[in-house]
Structure 1
Amino acid sequence: MSRPSVPALKATALRLLAMREHSREELRRKLEAKAEEGDDVEAVLDRMAETGLQSDQRFAESFVRSKGARMGVERLRRELLDRGVSSEVVATALGEGLEDDELSRARAIWLKKFGVVPQDRGDWARQARFLQSRGFAADVIRKLLKEPFNEPA
C-alpha cells in the first residue's frame, strides 16, 4: 500500500482505540487486514505508542478491571498472553491484590451459578470443572467446595 494509506491506517487505529483499549498485537492484526505492507502498520503502531494513544500496560489493567470479577488469575493471565501482552506487563497488571482476593471472587461466581453445596461426587466435579474453566486454581476450588468427598479409593 502506498504512503497515503498511513492516514487511513491511523484513522482506523484511532477508531478502534476509541471503542476500547487494544493491545499492540490486537491492533497489528486488525490493521494488517487493511494494509498491504507491514511497514506502514508498524509505523502507525509506533506512533500510537509514542503519543500514548496505545499502551499494553493500560490495556492489561483495563482488561483485568473489566474481566477480573468473572475470571480467576490463571485465565486472566492466559487471555492477556494470548492477546500479545508481554509476561512482565501481565504480572504487573495482575499484581498481588487480585491473587489475594481470588477466593472471594470464586465464591461470588459460585454463588451466582450454583448457590448450594454439592450433594454428591458428580455435583462436586461439575462445580469444580466450572470454576476451573473460569481460571481458578485447584487450591482455591478445594477451599471453596471444602472437598466433602475425600473418601479413600
Structure 2
Amino acid sequence: MKRRSDADDGKKKARPSAYDKALGLLARRDHSRRELGRKLRQGGYEGGEAGEALDRLGEQHYQDDDRFAEMLVRSRVSQGYGPMRLRAELKNHGLSDARIRVVLDAAGVDWAAAAAAQLHRRYGAAGAADPAEKARRAQFLLRRGFPAATVRNVTHADVDDAADEDA
C-alpha cells in the first residue's frame, strides 16, 4: 500500500510569521537583534514585518541585546578569548561601543590571569627559554584577543603595541 506524503495531498504548509520564526530561533539560543534580523531577511521576510517582530520580542523581553552580550562574554571567556576578540565579536553583532565597554567591565575578568591560564593550558607549566618560543606564545595570546600590554606582562616577550591597533 502506498503512503501519501504531505506533498502528495496538495496542501502547503503555512509559513510561520516573522514573530513565530524569530521566537523559534530564540528558543534554541539567545541572538542579537541584528543577527535575528539578518536571519529573518534570509528567510524571505520583509523588513517591515521583521522589524515589527523584533520590536515585539524586545518589548516582551524575549530578545535582549544586553542579556545576549553577557551570555556571549561568559561563553567566550570560558573558551579562553581575550577582550579585544570579544569587543570585535560584540561589535559585529551590532552592539555599541559604550554597551560593549559596560558589558566587559561588568564581567569582572582578570585578563592577565585569563591569559596566563591560556598559556598554561596550551604550553604547560614550563616557561619559554628562548626568544623565539616567547614570541610564539605571545602570538598565540594576541590571536586569542589579549592586548599587547597583557601579553607582554604574561610572556615577557617583546610585543609591538601596533597589534592592538589592528583590532
1:97/1:60 CA distance change after superposition, 3 Å? closer
Partner letter of residue 112 of structure 1?
R
Partner of 1:135: 145
Partner of 2:77: 68
CA distance in 2, matches of 1:120, 1:104: 23
Matched, 1:92 2:92: no
Tell which deviates more after alignment, 89-98 or 14-23: 89-98
Q: How many residues align?
A: 143
Q: Which has the larger radius of gyration?
A: 2
Structure 1 residues without counterparts, runs of 5 or longer:
149-153
Q: TM-score scaled by structure 1?
A: 0.86
1:27/1:36 CA distance change after superposition, 3 Å? closer
Give SS of 1:68's match: helix
Q: CA deviation at 1:119?
A: 2.2
Which has the bigger relative contact order, CA under 8 A and spacing at least 6?
1
Give SS of 1:147's match: coil
Matched, 1:29 2:38: yes
Partner of 2:62: 53
CA distance in 1, matches of 2:36, 2:45: 15
In terms of fraction of residues, the more helix-rich structure is: 1
Q: TM-score scaled by structure 2?
A: 0.79
Partner letter of residue 73 of structure 1?
P
Partner of 1:40: 49
CA distance in 2, matches of 1:96, 1:46: 26
Q: Deviations over 1:82-104 (max 9, x none)?
A: 111122221111116535x0011
Stretches of 4+ aligned residues off by more than 3 angstroms: 96-99
Partner of 1:151: none
Partner letter of residue 32 of structure 2?
S
1:92/1:62 CA distance change after superposition, 3 Å? same
Q: CA deviation at 1:58?
A: 0.5
CA distance in 1, matches of 2:98, 2:157: 35
Q: Deviations over 1:47-90 (max 9, x none)?
A: 11111110111100111111113111111111100111122221
Structure 1 contact 17–54 (Cα < 8 Å) conserved: yes
Q: CA deviation at 1:129?
A: 0.6
Q: Deviations over 1:29-63 (max 9, x none)?
A: 10111124211111111111111110111100111
- Identity score, percent: 38
Partner of 2:7: none
